[in-house]
Homo-oligomer: A and B are copies of this chain.
Amino acid sequence: MNRLDLVRWIDLHPVVDDRGSLTAIESGQSIPFEIKRVYFLHDIVADRAGHAHRDTQQVIIRLAGNFVISLSNEFETTSYELNRSDKGLYLPPMLFIRLTKFSPDAVTLVLASTHYDKSRSIRSWAEYIEATR
């Protein structure tokens, strides 16, 4: 199985009216997991170095500005530009993730399927390659 093939856009179905845009994500319904952790990034001034999650699924959503996410397995890398808020990118576990090219106003929201646990994350490419063996 190529884990990169599991990456996909999820349509978030924003409700846009004359007041603005509201987008709701129902845990375990709009996305394929229960939300255990939410995190957001802003005022980003440098790339977020590579990491992977052993068993955490995520959906990453651009809320403002734009940035690039590069996803790698042992052999190949696919990059996605996140520049709109009506879709989230579903990330299965065990992809090596790099976030780059943040615009100064970028705001990124991530929904995750597990609570934080340092042992669940892989912080270097060498460790990632080791873990995929």
List residues of A whose CB falls within 8 A of some B CB: 16, 18-27, 29, 35-48, 61, 63-64, 85, 102, 105, 107, 109, 111, 115-116
Contact = CB atoms under 8 A, between A and B. Distances in A.
25 contacts: A16-B43, A19-B45, A19-B46, A19-B47, A19-B48, A20-B42, A20-B44, A20-B46, A21-B41, A21-B43, A22-B40, A23-B39, A23-B40, A24-B39, A25-B39, A26-B115, A26-B116, A27-B37, A29-B115, A35-B36, A38-B38, A40-B61, A63-B107, A64-B105, A64-B107
B111 A38 contact: yes
The oligomer's copy count stands at 2
A contact patch SS: strand
